[in-house]
Structure 1
Amino acid sequence: MLQHPHFDPVAFTLGPLAVHWYGLMYIVGFAAAWYLGRWKIQRGLSTIRLTDFEDLLFICMLGAVFGGRLGYVFFYKPAQFLSDPLTIFYLWEGGMSFHGGLIGVLLAIALYGYARKYSFFVLSDFLAPLVPLGLAAGRLGNFINGELWGRTTNVPWGMVFAGPQDGLARHPSQLYQFGLEGIALFIFLWFYALKPRPTGRISAYFLMGYGVARFIAEWFREPDDFLGLLTANLSMGQWLSLPMILAGVILYRFSATQSRHAQ
């Protein structure tokens, strides 16, 4: 049985400003996406212009933050926020949904693609391999904060977190998600995307890959205490992942009819 290190959630302070590790993880994620995207474009591995990519990345960042917050509001705590709508803007209190963030990013891609005359799937195929490292950084932030811990377990690497206050060992599910949704998905998508692929194929693999990884990891993660397990003993995260997997399968079949292009 291991003990969670109980990291200070504040990385450092600048006068009255406290910089939290979780916020830094967002910066790390977008910095990694920026670097990898520039690397591909500068080596002629994409038809997207560098300035367009940088503009798109900024817009997607806004879509991820606002979509993530609104997704958390509507998927997880709609009653609470309907009773006190202003708490939607209390970002410092935490509460972000990946699935909501994904919707925000897809909307940003659609709007930007329309404005700059890019195919939606050309942009999404380019961005998909850049996302998992950001997801990995976010899960690492969850682990540092000692939040979103796993279900109780007796495995040797079970970890005692301060949050549950029950002294029981739990799965470090944040690290499972770090490895599955983050590192493993990144390695697969990055190397797969280095060669021309049918339009939509990389996006399809991202949807299926993340959906399956999240669905598996949720078996080890403690369900939200205000929701518990839902129909068929599945968590909200699992139910939200099922449409992603289905969309990925449909997109995969669609991509089989498309020509190959550089990502």
Structure 2
Amino acid sequence: MNLLNYITWDVNPEIFHVGFLSVRWYGLLFALGFVIGQRILSKIYVTEGRTEGDVDVITLYMIIGTVVGARLGHTLFYAPDYYLSNPIEILKIWEGGLASHGATIGILLALWLFSRRYKFDYMWVLDRIVIVVALGGALIRLGNLMNSEIFGRPTDVPWAFIFVRNTEFSQVPRHPTQLYESLSVFLLFVLLYWLWNKYKEALPKGLLFGIFVTALFTFRFLVEFLKENQEDFENTMALNMGQILSIPLILIGIGILVKVWMNPKPALPGGRIAVAPSGK
């Protein structure tokens, strides 16, 4: 291995702190995902006949669904014994521990509740929200890079990173899997936004959501082969937890795409739900 072929990554995860208050890159990028996403979603909703007020409400549902889902996903999927024995630790989100698969489940549930409460077509909501979720996912993976976490296995590729601040693994060049995922999800955001911008209401219902779920979790499944396992128990598994959790989501995405291909139907304008005529 030529040790000259690597990038030394020694970025401080903390931007600044004042007293007990610490502002970190991860938190800033996490928040930017919601801020920028809200502006993009506002454009989408207004263009299709909804209001910015709808976006304000759905953003609140999204924040709660993302944070609660990601935290519970981490506690249940990666360390259930510890957190069930120490339930108060679940609340300490600032100490880290968020799972993207849990966030996905939390978002799906939150948006179902939103759609039911405010009379939206659920799939129309999902088709639009995945555009901004993709952008948010790209920013979160950049946050992981700033934290020097969720990195890859040793490699001799010329773009390998040595993560100096992670003292346990600081001497070996590794795949910057955070960048792989961030770039792939950003490209997915570009594709989804382009499709919406070109076709808008003519898009078959479920197409954007199906593309998003299939592409995102297929790449997640594949990139896991380059990653270090997050928990020790995964070292004895043929597939790690991230891959196992990705498989059902990939199948759901493929199922939706097949359904769209066999019977493409556009949603009602503005994501309104169909109301059956009343009997006489």
Q: Do they fold alike, i.e. is TM over 0.5?
A: yes
Partner of 2:70: 68
**Are 1:243 and 2:245 an aligned pair?**
no
RMSD of aligned Cα (Å) = 1.6
Q: How much has 1:67 moved relative to structure 2?
A: 0.4
1: CA distance, partners of 2:131 / 2:50: 15
Report 1:1-263 matches (<5 A): 1-42=5-46, 44=47, 46-162=48-164, 163=166, 164-165=168-169, 167-180=171-184, 182-194=185-197, 195=199, 196-229=202-235, 231=237, 233-256=238-261, 257-261=263-267
2: CA distance, partners of 1:214 / 1:185: 13
Q: Percent identity?
A: 32
The Cα offsets for residues 186-225 of structure 1, whole Å up to 9 and x where unpaired, read as 1111111221211111111111011112112212111114
SS at match of 1:224: coil
2: CA distance, partners of 1:224 / 1:26: 20
Normalised by the size of structure 2, how large is the TM-score?
A: 0.87
Q: How much has 1:18 moved relative to structure 2?
A: 0.7
2: CA distance, partners of 1:62 / 1:105: 8
Structure 1 unaligned spans of 5+: none
Q: How much has 1:76 moved relative to structure 2?
A: 0.7
The Cα offsets for residues 59-85 of structure 1, whole Å up to 9 and x where unpaired, read as 111110010000000011111111211
Q: Any conservation in 1 of the 2:7–2:159 contact (CA below 8 Å)?
A: no
Note closer, same or farther for the CA distance 1:101–1:169 as it changes in structure 2 (3 Å cut): same
- The range that moved more, 77-86 or 216-225, is 216-225
2: CA distance, partners of 1:111 / 1:48: 18
Structure 2 unaligned spans of 5+: 271-280
Q: Any conservation in 1 of the 2:130–2:212 contact (CA below 8 Å)?
A: yes
- The range that moved more, 13-22 or 204-213, is 13-22
Note closer, same or farther for the CA distance 1:4–1:147 as it changes in structure 2 (3 Å cut): farther
Aligned residues: 259
Note closer, same or farther for the CA distance 1:47–1:244 as it changes in structure 2 (3 Å cut): farther
Q: Any conservation in 1 of the 2:17–2:23 contact (CA below 8 Å)?
A: yes
2: CA distance, partners of 1:47 / 1:110: 20
2: CA distance, partners of 1:201 / 1:29: 23
2: CA distance, partners of 1:38 / 1:230: 46
1: CA distance, partners of 2:84 / 2:68: 17
Q: How much has 1:226 moved relative to structure 2?
A: 2.0
Normalised by the size of structure 1, how large is the TM-score?
A: 0.93
Aligned structure 1 segments of 4 or more residues deviating by more than 6 angstroms: none
SS at match of 2:16: strand
- The range that moved more, 12-21 or 78-87, is 12-21
Q: How much has 1:230 moved relative to structure 2?
A: 5.4
